[in-house]
Each structure stands twice: as C-alpha cells, then as structure tokens.
Amino acid sequence: MGKKPKTKEKSAPTAAAKADKSGSKKGAAAKAAAAEADDKRSGLRGAAPWAARHAAKHAAEARARNASPPPPGSARATLRTPESAELIKAKIAELHNAIVRIRTLRKHPNEKFYELGQVLGMIKDGRLYEAKGFNSFEAFVEREVDLSKTTTLRLERVPRLFHEGPARELGLEAVLAAVEAIDAIVTGQRAPATRAQQAAALPLKPPTGRK
C-alpha cells in the first residue's frame, strides 16, 4: 500500500520529460520547415552546385569592377562621375550669367564695348560654350549672341589688343576698324578702303565752264 504514491511521483516527471521532448521536436520541425520555406523563396533549394559558384564569381567580378575607376567614355563613367556633372552645371550657370551680361551691355555698345569684349573673351577662354553643346566659339556666337558674327568676333579681340583707356578714347568704330586692319595684315589680305580713301580715289569732276 505504501509503494503506490512513489510510483505516481516517478510517473509525473516522466510525463513532463516526454512533453518537453515532444515540444522540442515540434520546435525543431517548425524551424526546419521555416528554413525550407526560406530556401524555396531564395531559389537555393534544388539548385545545381555550379549555380552558386557562378553567382559568387559574378559578385567578385562586380566588386572588382566597382573598385577600379571606369574607363573614359564608358557608360559607367557617365553614371559614376558626379565631379564632371557638377563641373557641367557650374559651366552652364556661368554661361547663363555671361549671356545675360551680354544682353545688358549690347544695349549701350558705344559705351560698353570694352566690357562686352571682356565677357566674350571669358566665354571663349573658358570654353563655356561647350556646356550648351557647341563645338566652337564661332558656332556659339551665331546662335546665342544677338550681334553680327563679324562684329562679335572683333569685339572679343579688342581687350586682347588694346588697353581700356586708349580704346575708349578711340571709340567703338575706330577700334573695330583697327582690329580689321590688323587682321588684314596678319592674314595677308588687303583691308577694305575707308570712306575717305574711297572718296579720294574717285575721279575729279570735269570743269563745267562756268566762271
């Protein structure tokens, strides 16, 4: 009669141990099912061994490619060079300000021709015209400057050939004529005659006979 309680005490821990074991088995099964589901989602389960090696090889090549600087002119160079993009933006802004300045100065050409030549020279020397896709300064002048091409090109040379004080004393027409004469000497072409020279070359009028 006294042995029955001991048997009950032994059976109670055994049942608890069995419950713990069954719970751990269920937990392990749940973890295995979750891992299998993850593998299926990632496409790794059932994949050939060469696929993993192929993916690792491509990943290593991509890392090496990104670590080295892109070659000039490549698509990757265009996408991965923010420095050049910032430089282009700065040139566009500078060119825009210069064009606005030209439009203001050309309203008073006789007084502001020297400053106008300086702004044009800045555009040419800095190659700012390239920011808008022009291959040459001359092409930019034809499309963007509201002055004749010949006059604009001569104005651009004025600050290179004359000091500001003497140029202002001579005036716009005299300075442009001087630039034209200099170009004719440099290129070996004969400069067109001035109005005074043309008038001197005309034949004299015959006498009318009136006293």
CA-wise closest residue to 181 among 170, 206, 101, 116: 170
The separation between CA 59 and the C-alpha centre of its own chain, rounded to angstroms, equals 30
CA-wise closest residue to 147 among 97, 112, 197: 112
In a domain, 137, yes or no: yes
In a domain, 77, yes or no: no
In a domain, 155, yes or no: yes
With cut-offs at 50, 70 and 90, classify the pLDDT of residue 90.
Answer: confident
In a domain, 126, yes or no: yes
Under 8 Å between Cβ of 189 and 180: no
CA-wise closest residue to 124 among 160, 148, 90: 160
Domains identified in the chain, total number: 1
In a domain, 135, yes or no: yes
What pLDDT was estimated at residue 209? 57
In a domain, 141, yes or no: yes
In a domain, 153, yes or no: yes
Report helix, strand or coil for 61: helix
In a domain, 102, yes or no: yes
**pLDDT per residue over 17-53, tens digit each?**
555 555 566 666 666 666 565 555 544 455 566 667 7
* pLDDT higher than threshold 80 for residue 174: yes
| CA angle, residues 204, 209, 211, in degrees to nearest 5 | 110
Determine the structural domain holding residue 186 and report its residue range: 84-191
Residues in the chain: 211
* pLDDT higher than threshold 50 for residue 10: no
